[in-house]
Structure 1
Amino acid sequence: MLKLNKIHHVAIICSDYEKSKHFYTEVLGLKVALETYREERRSYKLDLEVGGQYQIELFSFPGPPGRPSRPEAAGLRHLAFEVDNIEEAVFHINEYGVVTEPIRIDETTGKRFTFFADPDGLPLELYER
C-alpha cells in the first residue's frame, strides 16, 4: 500500500512573473524561501512558504499557453487557503484591489468560504477554519 505523508508543493506557471510574485508575496503574504533564475530555460522558480508546512512553486516560462478555468474545466479546480477569519482576509485582499465573490457557506461543513483569482485567473479560495 502506498503511503502519502502530505502534499509537498503545488506548482503554478504564471504569465507575468513580477506581477504574480507581487500578488503571492505582498497581497497573500507568502514568505519567499528561495528564488532562482534558470538561464537555460529563461525561467524563474520562486519557492514560497505557506504556513510553515507547505510550499508553492511559482514558475515563469516564456509564452505559456492559457488554461481555461471557466466554465468549469477538467483538471485541478482551485487552490484553497485556510484562514482564521474570512472577513479580515477578504478585507485585506480587497485593499489590494482583488475582487472576491460574496462569502458563502459550505453546505456540508457549515464553514464560510469565498473565491477570487490570481493575476492569471487561477481560481483561489479562502476557507475559514
Structure 2
Amino acid sequence: MKVLILCTGNSCRSQMAHGFLQSFDPNITVCSAGTEASGKLNAKAVQAMKEIGIDISHHTSDSVEKYLGDEWDYVITVCGGANEACPSFLGNVKNRLHIGFDDPSHAVGTDEFIWSEFIRVRDEIKAGFWKFYIEEIKPQV
C-alpha cells in the first residue's frame, strides 16, 4: 500500500498527516510532497507532533515532481491549493481523495492562540486520517 499526501508547501499539514498515517501502520509506504514545496518543515508542526510522541523532524519537504513517475494506491490532498493542482498530477494513481484542513501557519494573534490552532488542526488531521485508515486501508491489509 502506497499513499502520497499532497499540500502546497509540504511543511505543515501534509507532514502531520504523513506522521499520523505512518504511526497507524508502519507497513504502509507513506510519502508527502508539495505542489510548491517550501524545502523546510514548520517548527510548530514538528513541536505539535512531538508533544504526542510522533517525531516528524526527520521528514523532508519535497516537490511533487519527485513522485510523478511512481505508482500510488492513494493520492490525498490536504489543502485547497494542492486539490486544485491535483488534476495535473500525472502519476499512476488508483484513488484520489481530498481531506482538507485549515492552515495553522496562517493563524494570527497571541502566541497562545496560534499554538492552539496548531493543536486543533493536528487533532483534526489525526481524526480525519484515522477515519480514512479504518474505512479505506485497514480492510485491504
Q: TM-score, normalised by structure 1?
A: 0.28
Q: Which has the larger radius of gyration?
A: 1
Is the strand fraction higher in 1 or 2?
1
User: Whose relative contact order is higher, 1 or 2, with alpha carbons under 8 Å and at least 6 apart?
Assistant: 2
